[in-house]
Chain A
Amino acid sequence: MDELYRDQILEHYKRPHNFGRIEGADLEFEDTNPFCGDEQHVTIRLDEDDKVAEIAFDGKGCAISTAATSLLTDELVGMSRQELLRLPKDFVLELLGIDISATRMKCAMLGLKVVKSASLGKSAEWEDEGEAGDPAEAVVDLGQI
């Protein structure tokens, strides 16, 4: 049945990659999803060229946020801080390979936001998820007016 909870997602949820914390990390950040209170903590060790040598995350989260950050952290070794900051949201969505609804977008993007915040050394500004529809179309049957 399940497109959202396909095996790859559940596998990363149950056994997330790069899970834990790096002692004496060069970069570190923690943030929460204010919508649900989920937390993720990211630690990054840099090599002599200031590129990601090792990355780890831990925290409490749903299948989508955990799998997204597990998949994301698999891809980041060798990237510079600038490259981390330039990562688009689609990078995560392509790794997930599933349709993410507006309500779950914050879950999918929590890890990316924390990684960017760690690179920046402060909370990365983040535009709100979800697309604004036309309220008239959404709730009013114009035929009746």
Chain B
Amino acid sequence: MKRTYSITDTRASRIVKNFFFVVLLLYTLIAVALILITVLSSFKTKSDLVQNTLGFPQSFTLDNYEQVLLKDKFWLYFINSTILTVGGVALLLFISSMVGYGLSKFHFKGRNGIRTYFLMGLMFPIQLGILPLFIMLRSLDLINNLFGLILLYAANMSFAVFVLSNFLRTVPNALIECARIDGASEFRIYRKIILPMARPVLSTVGLISFVTMWNDFYMPLVFLTKESVRTLTLGVYRYMNNFLENWHLVFAAVTVALVPVIVVFFLFSNQIIAGLTGGAVKE
């Protein structure tokens, strides 16, 4: 690792740097400690947890997980969260990449107007439309329905369309023209040329959407009220409401909800961080 120590690196500035190093170390230890405590506590028995709140488990038990996953149906919440996230990401990527292609590689009247129309969605806070959405989904019988929420997630495509159409503009026209001359249908061009070329951007947008949808609390809170469609975040929330009763179980529940997102984050951290923040500056 390259360090920028220079001739101006006086003793005083090194002390300041060490001070900040300690600050950052303590700061980041909060997250490490909280995650460790949660995971360790999930293996403790109830009495162990009461007597030895912060320590290492006296004896590892999987009873909490058995209770949480099987009896309290977190296996179902896990499947629901998975269906919601996978379905939402897939539909969002499919629809927004088609729109991105249509808006970047075809010239037609009103194209800029449509582009602006898609960008408008970035302006509206989610709460503005949520009440009408509730009424609409209720009349379509899509309340308490994972598919209804998947549609909503995919419909919020402003950011994805923006990123994808900007990227697809850089795909060489010659490539598309060649395929067209060879007699490929428009949809075939999209599938065989556009999608493979857009893979890096698709995966970034997909990762960000995965994190957002997996973690989402507000939309499931409003649209999914029945147990059969409950997601992991809602399951955790319900346990928290009865914190005292479920104290030993909450840790296992949180661990189940936390682990997938942490694994994905550490595997793809660069892509996720750049995707969540980089696009904002380079508009």
Q: Please indicate whether A and B come from the same complex rather than being unrelated chains.
A: no
Residues in A lying within 8 Å of B, measured CB to CB: none
Residues in B lying within 8 Å of A, measured CB to CB: none
